[in-house]
Amino acid sequence: MQYHAPTSVDDALRLLAAENGNCQILAGGTDLLVRLRSEMGDDPESILDIKRIDDLRAITPEAGGWRIGAAVSGAEMSEHAGLVADWPGVVEAMNLIGSTQIQGRATLAGNLCNASPAADSVPAMVAAGAMARIAGPDGARDIPVAEVPTAPGRTSLDKAEFITSIHLPARPERGGDAYLRFIPRTEMDIAVVGCGVALTLDEAGICNAARVSLGAVGPVVMLVEAGAEALIGTPLDDAALDALAAVCSEAASPIDDKRGTVAFRTHVAGVLARRAASIAKTRAGGAS
């Protein structure tokens, strides 16, 4: 197996094109190395490490929001005061993944492209309206994060493309976000259900915008438009939160597997949505 560590995006694209589909991108390696070592695992001909590309290791302010390089680890995100202040939900979602050791390496882009239905960072990114910047032979393009995963383990990216950064928009005034997940232990588990909520309040404390996203209850992350509708125009009181919970349970279409049952996931999707919305409301400055 060949190992490449280019120092520019252009060099990386050239290498990807030359490898003709047999090359795996390495950022944090917390999914890739597990796949490589598993018995039924991947056997790529080469690995392309993007961590030597300086731009991809940076968190830079952009358009009032933040551009997070694809090689930035979850730990680095949690140490960035500005990012934590604006999008605590996204940061906490990323930092729920695995352990302290995993967070020392794992990345948003890697979590997104691994395309697990239960990926923790993805519902939070979707709720925040994050955009993925993709570098390819025809230049760079930006797409909503939700358009990256297409099925468990599959993305919409071409083999000659890779994600170079994630952009989080400017945090709206009186905006707040939160991510919660259900796991049986207190750490280390894959999410049985995940929910990301981002919302904004007007001066009177009424919700005027919301995005609600569910993970682990369908083959890919889902944006629950009816969830937003249940919140917008309300003061996020118990009635609104109950309606949100019901809508999210309704929207969930989970499976039975070794981590949870249909009935359990359906019920807990509603519970988490309510709790995440409450936290987002508090962060947006709403009365708790």
> Cβ distance 179 to 105 under 8 Å?
no
Q: Which of 9, 15, 17, 36 binds another protein (CB under 8 A)?
A: 36
Residue 94 CA, chain-centre distance (Å), reads 7
Q: Under the criterion CB under 8 A, does residue 22 sit at the interface with another protein?
A: no
As given in the structure block, the two tokens for residue 53 are 């590309």
* Smaller CB separation from another protein, 48 or 148: 48
Query: Which residue type, as a one-letter code, is found at position 240?
Result: A
Whole-angstrom distance, CA of residue 121 vs CA of residue 133 = 16
Q: Which of 6, 15, 46, 172 binds another protein (CB under 8 A)?
A: 46
Q: Which of 12, 23, 51, 128 binds another protein (CB under 8 A)?
A: 51
* Smaller CB separation from another protein, 30 or 200: 30
Task: Calculate the alpha carbon distances from 242 to 63, 111, 158, 183, 276 in Å.
Answer: 36, 31, 41, 22, 12
* Smaller CB separation from another protein, 5 or 143: 5
Q: Which of 9, 14, 49, 229 binds another protein (CB under 8 A)?
A: 49
Residues 76-105 that bind another protein (CB under 8 A): 98-102, 104-105
* Smaller CB separation from another protein, 26 or 230: 26
> Cβ distance 190 to 104 under 8 Å?
no
In sequence order, which residues have a C-beta less than 8 Å from that of residue 33 and are 6 or more positions away?
none
- CB 100 → another protein: shortest distance, Å? 5
Q: Under the criterion CB under 8 A, does residue 39 sit at the interface with another protein?
A: yes
Residues 222-261 that bind another protein (CB under 8 A): 258-261
- CB 117 → another protein: shortest distance, Å? 15
In sequence order, which residues have a C-beta less than 8 Å from that of residue 229 and are 6 or more positions away?
247
> Cβ distance 215 to 191 under 8 Å?
yes
- CB 215 → another protein: shortest distance, Å? 16
Question: Could you tell me which stretch among 14-22, 153-161, 168-176, 180-188 binds another protein (CB under 8 A)?
Answer: 180-188
Burial of 271 (0-12, 13-18, 19+ CB in 10 A): middle
DSSP per-residue letters across 26-82: ESS-TTHHHHHHSTT----SEEEE-TT-GGGG-EEEETTEEEEETT-BHHHHHT-HH
- CB 223 → another protein: shortest distance, Å? 23
* Smaller CB separation from another protein, 185 or 204: 185
Residues that bind another protein (CB under 8 A): 1-3, 5, 26, 28-30, 33-34, 36-39, 46-47, 49, 51, 73, 75, 98-102, 104-105, 182, 184-190, 192, 258-261, 263-264, 267-268, 271
